[in-house]
Structure 1
Amino acid sequence: MKNLFITLFILGAVAFNSLAQDHPKGYLSITTSGSGVLQRNAHSFVMSADYNHYVSDRFMIGMSVIGDWEKEYAKLESGTQVNDSFKSSVAFYGTYLFGKNRQWGLGGGYSKDILKGDTFKLGNDYVDAFVMYFIPVGNLGYICPRVGYIHDFQGKEQSISAGFSFSVPIN
């Protein structure tokens, strides 16, 4: 019980500290990127809807719903076969903000496949790491170029991704 009290106290203090800072409560974002699988001839187009919430002046936690359209090219004796697939995942992650104006973000997290094709099916587990840069767009929000690394535990594959987010502050 004592540990629960201490944990709740720390979370409350962090949340209270976040309210006193000069930043919005969080951001809603749309992210688009492309990724390439290192172990096979496959690439993906990825789109996600994201929410990031400040827990302190330099740290945000976030959640994303991700759509991943993969295209794989397999060499056959009779030519090349193209396999298309779709999966959706849910992700949870943290982002550490640094730089003079906290314009850089370094983060990572965990994601789990929840759809394969049009069927609800729990699938592979992933961890990822990314770096991003926040570019202000007037009073609208930010465009955030990003690069990342993804590791698929079950498929034993690694991917490199690059893309950008458009983020709108939530006050």
Structure 2
Amino acid sequence: MRTAQRYELSVPREPLAERAAALVPPGRVTVGTTGCARTAAVRAILARRRGLTLVTTALTPVLALRGGAKVLLTGGAVRDPAQGCVGAVAEAALRARPIDIAVITAGGIDGDGLSASCPEQASVARTLVEHASRVIAVVPGAVFGAAEGTRFAGLAEVDDVVTDVVVPSGEFVGPVFHVVS
């Protein structure tokens, strides 16, 4: 006999997530996120905020909803529960609602911008970048200088990059870099 699985939003002590969430002002803000594992800790922190609307392709905040933010799932094809929903349905849902702030991640970042290995995830991230008033990218140092298969945003389209490495001046021009240790 199968038992129901219980989902919880644990908030790991992850400095990148904490810094990215701190960039989101309190109050009635609509935040869009991709379903990537790197944004999971940010979603977990934001999902507890009252007054905030979290529009996400990720299944986990919806499954673990316990007060705080209003969480809206885009729907779409489920690539993997950790990676969230992709495809035309997910992208249409993101376009249908004004997004104040997008919180995204990338599999690679170089002087030309952000990229992802999965074209479907890149397309969802691109939709968020195009429709958000502000874009925050959570990018660990391990992916700096690397370009993955599909580019989805130029650096000029990103407002803030939260990372754990010091970025060489002049090499990455455009966003404000927030370095955490």
The TM-score with structure 2 as length reference comes to 0.24
Higher helix share: 2
The TM-score with structure 1 as length reference comes to 0.25
Higher strand share: 1
